[in-house]
C-alpha cells in the first residue's frame, strides 16, 4: 500500500536517531512536512544534513517550558499540526526496584511519560480545532507485560497506554484519533545498551540475553525500526482513519516476559 500524506504537518519527538529517525524519514517519503526535535545536538545536526527538507529544534521534551517553545516554533513554521508522534524515551536503569535510585526513576518517568503529556496538551487544542489529525504515542511490549529489573520503564509504558485510551475518548468526537504502538525488541543501539546493562546486572553474557529476546517471540526475530515506522504511517493515513484508542504490538508476538 502506498501511503500519501502530502502536505500533512508532522512533529516527531526524538526524531534524529533510531525509530524516530526512520519514522521521520517515512513521513518525508510520504510527502509530509516534518518537524523533528531531539535532545542530542550532534544527532540533530547530522539529521538536518541528511534531510534538509525537515525542520529541527533541540528540545528536552521532559521540560514543560522547552515544549512550549517547541510548539511555538512548530506553529510558526507550519501554522498548526496534523500528527504528533510522541517517540521520545529512555531505557532507564536495569536494576531491582530496591536498587533503583529515585532520581533515575523520576527521569525515566519524565522522558517516557511526562513528555507525552506535555506535547499532547499542546497539540490537542490544534487538532480539535481543525477536527482532523492524531497522536501516536510510543509504548512498548513492556506496556503489556511486566519485566524484571525495569520497573520505571515498565511503569511509564503501561501509563502511556492509559493516557492514549483517555485521549482517544476525549478527542474522538472531534475526528481526532490517538493510538499507542508497543514495539518488542527493536534492533539498534538502544537495545544493545539495554542488553549490556542487563548483562552487568545479571552476570549473564550479552549473547545469551540476546538469544532469549529472540527465543521469546513466535517469529524468532527482532523487530526493525522500519516495522514500527510503517505502522505509525498507517495509523496516520486515510486507511487508519477509524482506528483509535488502541495499543498495537509490533513485536513478532512476544509471548514471555523477561525474568
Q: How far apart are CA 11 and CA 27, in angstroms?
A: 10
Return all residues near 134 (Cβ < 8 A) that are at least 6 apart. Answer: 82, 83, 84, 127, 176, 177, 178, 179, 235, 236, 244
Q: With contact defined as beta carbons under 8 Å apart, do 35 and 12 qualify?
A: yes
**153 is a catalytic site residue:** yes
Residues 47, 153, 174, 255: which is the catalytic one? 153
Q: What is the 3-state secondary structure (H, E, C) of the chain?
A: CCCCCCCCEEEEECCCCHHHHHHHHHHHHCCCEEEEEECCHHHHHHHHHHCCCCEEEECCCCCHHHHHHHHHHHHHHHCCCCEEEECCCCCCCCECHHHCCHHHHHHHHHHHHHHHHHHHHHHHHHHHHHCCCEEEEECCHHHCCCCCCEHHHHHHHHHHHHHHHHHHHHHHHHCCEEEEEEECCECCHHHHHHHHHHHHHHCCCHHHHHHHHHHCECCCCCECHHHHHHHHHHHCCHHHCCCCCCEEEECCCECCCCC
Radius of gyration for the chain, computed over Cα atoms and rounded to the nearest angstrom: 18
C-alpha cell at 142: 513492556
Q: So which residues are the catalytic ones?
A: 153
Amino acid at each position: 500500500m502506498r501511503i500519501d500524506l502530502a502536505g500533512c504537518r508532522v512533529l516527531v519527538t526524538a526524531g534524529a536517531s533510531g525509530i524516530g529517525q526512520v519514522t521521520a524519514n517515512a513521513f518525508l517519503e510520504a510527502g509530509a512536512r516534518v518537524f523533528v526535535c531531539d535532545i542530542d545536538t550532534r544527532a540533530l545536526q547530522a539529521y538536518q544534513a541528511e534531510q534538509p527538507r525537515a525542520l529541527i529544534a533541540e528540545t528536552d521534551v521532559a521540560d514543560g517550558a522547552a515544549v512550549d517553545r517547541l510548539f511555538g516554533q512548530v506553529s510558526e513554521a507550519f501554522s498548526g499540526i496534523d500528527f504528533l508522534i510522541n517517540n521520545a524515551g529512555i531505557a532507564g536503569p536495569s536494576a531491582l526496584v530496591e536498587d533503583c535510585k529515585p532520581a533515575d526513576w523520576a527521569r525515566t518517568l519524565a522522558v517516557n511519560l511526562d513528555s507525552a503529556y506535555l506535547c499532547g496538551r499542546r497539540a490537542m487544542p490544534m487538532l480539535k480545532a481543525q477536527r482532523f489529525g492524531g497522536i501516536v504515542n510510543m509504548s512498548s511490549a513492556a506496556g503489556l507485560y511486566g519485566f524484571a529489573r525495569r520497573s520505571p520503564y515498565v511503569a511509564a509504558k503501561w501509563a502511556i497506554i492509559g493516557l492514549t485510551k483517555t485521549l482517544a475518548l476525549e478527542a474522538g468526537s472531534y475526528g481526532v484519533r490517538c493510538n499507542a504502538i508497543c514495539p518488542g525488541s527493536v534492533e539498534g543501539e538502544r537495545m544493545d545498551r539495554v542488553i549490556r546493562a542487563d548483562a552487568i546486572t545479571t552476570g549473564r553474557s550479552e549473547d545469551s540475553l540476546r538469544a532469549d529476546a529472540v527465543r521469546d517471540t513466535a517469529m524468532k526475530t527482532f523487530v526493525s525500526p522500519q516495522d514500527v515506522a510503517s505502522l505509525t504511517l498507517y495509523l496516520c493515513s486515510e486507511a487508519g482513519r477509524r482506528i483509535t484508542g488502541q495499543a498495537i504490538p509490533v513485536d513478532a508476538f512476544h509471548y514471555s516476559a523477561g525474568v
